[in-house]
Structure 1
Amino acid sequence: MDNSYTFGDVTVTEQEVAQHMVAAVKTIFSTMIFIDDIVEDYPLEKPVSHFHCSISGMVGLGGAFSGMVGVHLPEDFAQEATASMLGMTVEEVDAESDINDAVGEITNMLAGEVKMLFSDKNLHLCLSTPSIISGKDYTIEVMNNNCAVIVPFYRGEQRFIATLQISAS
Structure 2
Amino acid sequence: MLGEKILKQLNTTEEELIGHLNNDVLEIFSTMVGGGVLSSKKAETESHFNDSVSAMVGFAGGYNGMIAINASRKQALRFAAQMLGMEVDECEDEMADALGEIANMIGGSFKHHFVKDGHEVKLSTPSVISGGEYEMTVCSLPDTLTLQFETAEESFTVSLYLETD
The whole-number CA distance in structure 2 between the counterparts of 1:26 and 1:14 is 18
> SS of the counterpart of 1:25?
helix
> 1:82 Cα deviation (Å)?
0.3
Residues 71, 120 of structure 1: alpha-carbon distance in 2 compared, 3 angstrom cutoff: same
Residues 156, 15 of structure 1: alpha-carbon distance in 2 compared, 3 angstrom cutoff: same
> SS of the counterpart of 2:37?
coil
> 1:131 Cα deviation (Å)?
0.4
**Could you state the TM-score of these two structures normalised by the residue count of structure 1?**
0.89
Q: Does the Cα contact within 8 Å between 2:55 and 2:129 map onto a contact in 1? A: yes
1:75 matched residue in structure 2:
73
1:158 matched residue in structure 2:
154
Matched, 1:129 2:125: yes
Letter in 2 for 1:50: H
> 1:156 Cα deviation (Å)?
2.6
Deviation per residue, 1:48-88 (Å, 9 max, x gap): 11111111010111001211111111100110110010011
Letter in 2 for 1:16: E
Deviation per residue, 1:120-152 (Å, 9 max, x gap): 222111100000011111111243353101111
**Could you state the TM-score of these two structures normalised by the residue count of structure 2?**
0.91
Q: Does the Cα contact within 8 Å between 1:71 and 1:163 map onto a contact in 2? A: yes
Deviation per residue, 1:32-58 (Å, 9 max, x gap): 0112333102x21x3311111111010
Q: Does the Cα contact within 8 Å between 1:55 and 1:135 map onto a contact in 2? A: yes
The whole-number CA distance in structure 1 between the counterparts of 2:38 and 2:23 is 11
The whole-number CA distance in structure 1 between the counterparts of 2:34 and 2:130 is 24
2:109 matched residue in structure 1:
113
The whole-number CA distance in structure 2 between the counterparts of 1:56 and 1:2 is 21
The whole-number CA distance in structure 2 between the counterparts of 1:36 and 1:157 is 9
Letter in 1 for 2:64: S
Greater per-residue helix proportion: 2
Pairwise CA RMSD: 1.8
2:39 matched residue in structure 1:
39
Count of aligned positions: 163
User: Which region of structure 1 is more displaced relative to structure 2, 130-139 or 85-94?
Assistant: 85-94
Q: Does the Cα contact within 8 Å between 2:141 and 2:161 map onto a contact in 1? A: no
**Unmatched 5+ residue regions in structure 1?**
none
What is the identity percentage for the equivalent residue pairs of Structure 1 and Structure 2? 33
**Unmatched 5+ residue regions in structure 2?**
none
Letter in 1 for 2:100: G
Letter in 2 for 1:6: K
The whole-number CA distance in structure 1 between the counterparts of 2:160 and 2:151 is 21
The whole-number CA distance in structure 2 between the counterparts of 1:102 and 1:135 is 16
